[in-house]
Chain A
Amino acid sequence: MSREELAEEKNPMEDFLRMDRIPHIWCPGCGIGTVVTSFADALKKSELDLDKVAVVSGIGCTGRVAGYVKFDSFHTTHGRAIPFATGLKLANPELKVVVFSGDGDIVGIGGNHLIHAARRNMDIVVICVNNFNYAMTGGQVAATSPMGANLSTAPYGNFEYPFNLPYLVETCGATYVARWTSLHIRRVTKSIQEALAKRGFSFIEVITPCVTLYARRNRLGDGLNLLKYYYDQSEIQHGADTRTVGIDYQGKLIVGKFVDKEKPTFLDGMNTHLQKVLGEKYVPYGVKP
């Protein structure tokens, strides 16, 4: 390549990231950036019209993702990314709506919305970065913190039972459920790609190290150590019974694609049902003529 050609060479992430907002706020060694890279890669491979992709985040370190991706992107309130995405998707069914947020946001404060969106089989993709704590606010205990882990508001160790996310969302009706660690870069990418191609409620949990808080407090080494540790501790079990994939402190991590099935979405169900009951008089919604 000539010097001119090199100068014109685009940064490969330029189509996906708001370069005018880089550098980002994440700590060196934080795993969130890796998941964003996988997301961008999945979009590239998906060949979706990027103008029709919308990203919705709540609040948290992960919640900042919406601010960095170069799509129609919405940085909403703590816990409310899913109902926001629900409104956005239903208002403009052409959109591919992706919720990208943290465990505290999606499962803690926003847990009620999560289970209802899964129940309705709302056609959205949820990428949940699980770093086992409320990072943005300083490493407090979360609904995902493993028992025994030390958190700033569980200074003597956590004694509450954590959620098993794949089991939770599968039970509620999700049609695609996967879990990876952020070092499973190719697999995370592939799962996001599959979820993007699917119609229905998709949920991808990505176990991600929080170096600054969770790792330091529990003396789990630096980001790279922990990233590697999660990866090494993981065992791929596609189709595993989600009841068995709960997470113990520093224990084995069952990862893989657990659920991938077809079911009418909220809009499918609404249109089919009302058409059947009301006949000709029903004005179908969001279906291309």
Chain B
Amino acid sequence: MRKVKADPKGVLTGAHYLDGDFAIAEGGLAAGCRFFAGYPITPSTETAERFSERIPFVGGIFIQMEDEIASITALIGASWGGQKVMTVTSGPGFSLMQENIGLAVMMETPLVIANVQRGGPSTGLPTLTGQSDMMQAKFGSHGDYEIIALSPDSPQECFDLTIKAFNLAETFRVPVFVMTDECVGHMHEKVIIPPADEIEIIERKWYQGPKDKYLPYKPDKDLVPFMVKAGDGYRFHTTGLTHDERGYPVLNAEVQDWCVHHLVDKIRKNAHKIIELQEDQIDNAEVVVVSYGITSRVAIRAVQLARKAGIKVGTMRMITVWPFPEKRIKELAGKIKAFVVPEINLGQIGREVERCAFGQAPVIGVTHCGGWVHDPEDILKAIKEAVR
């Protein structure tokens, strides 16, 4: 894993007043992304607009594709061409991308997709907020696989976590999703962009050995294979079919077992290096509020009120949602009375918390279908119910 400083060409150092969508574009540029392919969709379009405005002065490609299927597929091609790549979308576009998210997973291609979530299903609520693509992010494409998903709660974090997303994508050769939402995407706040030499960038895991010994899918010690790019004389093959270490298709149960386990294990076994949580007053807590993204900001108010009322309440904000912090939830479940999980969907992550709590602590969901952020009172009510 080679760490370098960010290329100053893409870094707009200074204090800015940006919305989350713009901050995602700036995060991508700061991370060294020089290829963006996308298709307009509310409430994510501003990211594409910002990137198209900035890239001519940095040197790179912005291309508006004919649809989201083309966008994600162009990203995979461009990533194999040696670029750091990203796109942005929202529910309907995310749905269209699913088949080729699977291709990116199978080919072990680093790329970043930001999903500025809105209310679904279908066209749903184009201009209003939602968090209902969380399960789709994990399971949206067919087959068994693992991805990484992060959830920013502010424009500043949209910037920071987009850089982190690139670093994770390059480290693990996997698609990484920045799962934000309309509210954060359109919220204007101060965003501090540090000087380039204070931004740490993880370079792609380039193969350095002899050409004739290169195996595109031979796992390294950390389970992640080395990568090369097209045009460097390796004459490699890669396919969406089940394949062996050479990248050649082998269609039988044995190789399928190896191939799929490899894709899953490189994330699951490295989960401790990936997961980032922000916990507060959790040690003596009777109740823990588990939340992510915009909902965790709303939850702060409810937690303050609960503490004022003398309730011992801790918080866990998931910065990484996938892979899921299974161990930590399990650990806490044995110590507390209940979890409270507010989210802008009908209980997607709550269900995951419930699975990991394994009956040791009940999970009280505070859910709604989207279009607005929670009323802190509703979360407070759930906290009170939890300690009763």
Contact = CB atoms under 8 A, between A and B. Distances in A.
Contacts of A184: none
B114 interface: no
Interface in B223-237: 229-237
B82 interface: yes
Given A74-B77, A75-B241, A116 B234 contact: no
A283 to B, nearest CB: 4
A80 B73 contact: yes
B61 A94 contact: no
A116 B78 contact: no
Given A67-B239, A77-B99, A87 B231 contact: no
Contacts of A18: 237, 248
Nearest to B58: A283
Of A92, A281, A284, the most chain B CB neighbours within 10 A belong to A92
Given A71-B235, A75-B240, A86 B229 contact: no
A56 interface: yes
A91 B63 CA distance: 11
B59 interface: yes
A119 to B, nearest CB: 9
A113 interface: yes
Given A90-B35, A91-B79, A94-B231, A274 B56 contact: yes
Interface residues of B, number: 47
A185 interface: no
Interface string B67-105: 101110111111111110100000000000001100100
Contacts of A74: 77, 80, 107, 237-239
B37 interface: yes
B59 A112 contact: no
Contacts of B241: 75
Contacts of A168: none
A92 B60 contact: no
Interface string A223-250: 0000000000000000000000000000
B37 A95 contact: no
Contact of B237 (A75, A113, A284): A75
Contacts of A113: 66, 70
B65 A83 contact: yes
Contacts of A83: 65-66, 69-71, 73-74, 77
A71 B81 CA distance: 14
B35 A91 contact: yes
Contacts of B85: 87, 91
B307 to A, nearest CB: 51
A84 interface: yes
A87 B75 contact: yes
Given A90-B63, A92-B81, A283-B58, A77 B73 contact: yes
A51 B74 contact: no
A135 interface: no
A18 B73 CA distance: 25
Contacts of B78: 87-88, 90-91
B18 to A, nearest CB: 22
A263 interface: no
A72 B81 CA distance: 10
Contacts of B9: 283
A104 B364 CA distance: 50
The 8 closest A-B CB pairs, nearest first, are A91-B81, A87-B77, A87-B74, A87-B78, A283-B59, A75-B239, A91-B78, A88-B77
Given A72-B80, A91-B61, 9 more contacts: A51-B232, A66-B237, A73-B235, A74-B237, A83-B69, A86-B70, A87-B77, A88-B81, A282-B57
Interface of A: 18, 20-21, 50-52, 54, 56, 59, 66-67, 70-77, 80, 83-92, 94-95, 112-113, 116, 266, 274, 278, 281-285
26 contacts: A18-B237, A54-B230, A54-B231, A72-B80, A74-B80, A74-B237, A74-B238, A75-B249, A76-B240, A77-B240, A80-B100, A83-B69, A83-B70, A84-B74, A87-B37, A87-B74, A89-B77, A90-B63, A91-B80, A92-B230, A112-B66, A112-B70, A113-B66, A282-B57, A283-B56, A285-B59
